[in-house]
């Protein structure tokens, strides 16, 4: 029989209980390895080195405590892409859905393609400018570059707080300037023509009249419920599409986010701040249009004021409908549905409405309109303002008749 072959086995380093992966390397340094949460399915570890085993164990204990507190630890090889992947999944998820969607688009389309492979702790002003320049090179506006800069600034503040970087690289260079918007809005003659056509459109006319005559946002119009339209229009909810979790199918929203499910991914949610909740007196042409529309509207199980044959209308579909009807009404301007708000502001100011009331009506006030509206004096001013606004859309002969009636009484 052949002689047995001698095998050389390397003895595993001796370690104490609870020390984990602790060993002495060829340079005489003590090494400790901590397992970190995987990123993109890849295993991640952090190695700590000290001259003495005692110092290493103290450093390991501190690092493990920090890992438990933060959920992750900085590593010398963490890239910008890895950081933003972590930030979007673990930190930014607590913002409002629309804000999170904006962050995700900006990170995916602009930040990662420009600097995703750069090490997080190596970022400098040049890298920030690289993101700006890459956006402008695509033919996009400086406003898009500004949004990317703000996204990076918000994210890197968290990286500083978690000890991953020592300074915020977004603060090392000036933010891009916001581009001057070129928005088109309906003037008075166009608005009159629009409302005349809308008044005779039984399908979508009341929807567009509500948008133009209240300054309501797209989601606020789509989310209006019949019982919130009385002698006032109560704009305290909006209909939007929320992202759903792939795990349990529930909306991906902060814990304090208030919402009501409609169907599919469509939900009624509160506006982003209480100052956006507003109650607008229902007067003039809009009252006449809605008084005619509501009795004939198709019923629906959610009590929504505007539907598509009894089904909720998604925001994207509403924008497509608007484009189609603008063309059908013979208006060639490139006026987006959201831009109807700008038309409302212009028309309110043209009617001589005080600026503070214009801000209340369209939801730009610095105070909560719902509280201010409870004041009888403010209610009286708002009603008078909306009646004054309605005169813009009232034929001269009707105005003369109103004046004569007032003189008689």
Q: Residue 112 and residue 40: Cα distance in Å, rounded? A: 15
Is the separation of the CB atoms in 239 and 365 below 8 Å? no
Predicted local distance difference test score (pLDDT) of residue 21? 80
pLDDT tier at 357, thresholds 50, 70, 90: confident
Predicted local distance difference test score (pLDDT) of residue 398? 52
Ramachandran sector of residue 8 (left: φ over 0; alpha: ψ -120 to 50; beta: rest): beta
- CATH number assigned to the domain covering 193-408: 1.10.443.10
Predicted local distance difference test score (pLDDT) of residue 279? 87
Q: Which helix (H) or strand (E) holds 61?
A: helix 53-70
Is the separation of the CB atoms in 84 and 107 below 8 Å? yes
Task: Give tens-digit pLDDT for 162-188.
Answer: 878 878 999 999 999 987 766 778 888
- CATH number assigned to the domain covering 80-172: 1.10.150.130
Cα→Cα distances 199→205, 216, 318, 320, Å: 6, 18, 18, 20
Percentages of the chain per state (helix, strand, coil), in multiples of 5 = 50, 15, 35
Token readout for 381 is: 């001013």
Nearest to 122 by CA among 85, 88, 73, 172: 172
Buried b (16+ CB within 10 A) or exposed e, 53-80: beebbeebeeeeebbeeeebbbbeebbb
Global model pTM greater than 0.75 = no
Is the separation of the CB atoms in 105 and 147 below 8 Å? no
Q: Which helix (H) or strand (E) holds 50?
A: strand 42-50
Nearest to 155 by CA among 69, 78, 83, 77: 83
pLDDT tier at 18, thresholds 50, 70, 90: very low
CA 117 centroid distance within chain: 27
Task: Give tens-digit pLDDT for 60-102.
Answer: 998 888 888 777 776 666 899 999 998 998 888 788 888 888 9
CB count within 10 Å of CB 254 equals: 11
297: which residues sit within 8 A by CB, 6+ positions away? 226, 305, 307
Lowest mean pLDDT among 51-55, 106-110, 372-376: 372-376
Task: Give tens-digit pLDDT for 217-272.
Answer: 999 999 999 999 999 999 999 999 998 877 778 888 888 888 999 999 999 998 87
Q: Which helix (H) or strand (E) holds 281?
A: strand 278-281
Predicted local distance difference test score (pLDDT) of residue 403? 55
For CATH 1.10.150.130, list the domain ranges present in the chain. Answer: 80-172
Q: Residue 337 and residue 319: Cα distance in Å, rounded? A: 6
Strand partners, 30: 24, 50
Find the mean pLDDT for residues 42-71: 86
Handedness of CA 236, 239, 242, 248 (dihedral sign): positive
Residue written as tokens 């570059």?
Answer: 145
Predicted local distance difference test score (pLDDT) of residue 324? 92
Half-sphere exposure of 76 (CA within 13 A, CB side): 3
Q: Residue 358 and residue 360: Cα distance in Å, rounded? A: 5
Task: Give tens-digit pLDDT for 327-353.
Answer: 888 888 888 888 888 888 887 777 787
Predicted local distance difference test score (pLDDT) of residue 376? 46
Is the separation of the CB atoms in 315 and 219 below 8 Å? yes
For CATH 1.10.443.10, list the domain ranges present in the chain. Answer: 193-408
Beta-strand pair 30-39/42-50:
antiparallel
Angle subtended by helix axes 205-214 and 188-199, to nearest 10: 150
Q: Residue 127 and residue 131: Cα distance in Å, rounded? A: 7
Q: Residue 363 and residue 345: Cα distance in Å, rounded? A: 11
């Amino acid at each position: 029989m052949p002689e047995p072959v001698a095998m050389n086995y390397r003895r595993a380093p001796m370690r104490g209980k609870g020390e984990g992966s602790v060993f002495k390397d060829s340079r005489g340094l003590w090494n400790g390895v901590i397992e970190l949460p995987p990123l993109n399915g890849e295993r991640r570890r952090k190695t700590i080195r000290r001259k003495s085993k005692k110092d290493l164990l103290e450093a390991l204990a501190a690092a493990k405590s920090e890992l438990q507190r933060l959920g992750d630890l900085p590593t010398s090889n963490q890239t910008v892409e890895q950081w933003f992947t972590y930030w979007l999944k673990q930190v930014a998820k607590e913002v409002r859905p629309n804000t999170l969607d904006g962050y995700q688009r900006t990170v995916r389309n602009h930040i990662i393609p420009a600097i995703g492979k750069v090490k997080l702790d190596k970022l400098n002003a040049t890298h920030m400018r690289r993101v700006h320049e890459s956006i402008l090179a695509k033919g996009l506006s400086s406003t898009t570059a500004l949004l990317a800069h703000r996204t990076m600034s918000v994210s890197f503040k968290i990286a500083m707080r978690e000890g991953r970087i020592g300074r915020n690289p977004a603060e090392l260079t000036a933010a891009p300037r916001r581009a001057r918007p070129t928005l088109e809005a309906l003037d008075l003659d166009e608005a009159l023509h629009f409302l005349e056509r809308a008044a005779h459109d039984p399908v979508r006319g009341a929807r567009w009249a509500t948008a133009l005559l209240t300054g309501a946002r797209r989601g606020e119009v789509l989310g209006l419920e019949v019982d919130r339209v009385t002698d006032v229009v109560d704009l305290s909810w909006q209909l939007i599409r929320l992202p759903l979790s792939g795990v349990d199918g529930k909306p991906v929203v902060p814990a304090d986010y208030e919402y009501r499910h409609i169907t599919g991914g469509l939900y009624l949610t509160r506006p982003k701040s209480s100052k956006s909740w507003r109650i607008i007196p229902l007067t003039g042409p809009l009252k006449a249009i809605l008084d005619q529309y509501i009795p004939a509207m198709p019923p629906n199980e959610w009590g929504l004021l505007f539907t598509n044959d009894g089904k909720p209308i998604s925001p994207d579909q509403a924008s497509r409908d608007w484009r189609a009807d603008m063309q059908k009404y013979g208006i060639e301007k490139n006026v987006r549905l959201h831009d109807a708000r700008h038309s409302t502001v212009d028309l309110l100011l043209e009617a001589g409405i005080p600026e503070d009331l214009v801000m209340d009506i369209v939801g730009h006030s610095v105070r909560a309109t719902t509280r201010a509206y409870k004041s009888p004096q403010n209610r009286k001013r708002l009603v008078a303002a909306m009646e004054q606004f309605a005169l813009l859309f009232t034929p001269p002969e009707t105005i003369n008749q109103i004046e004569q009636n007032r003189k008689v009484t």
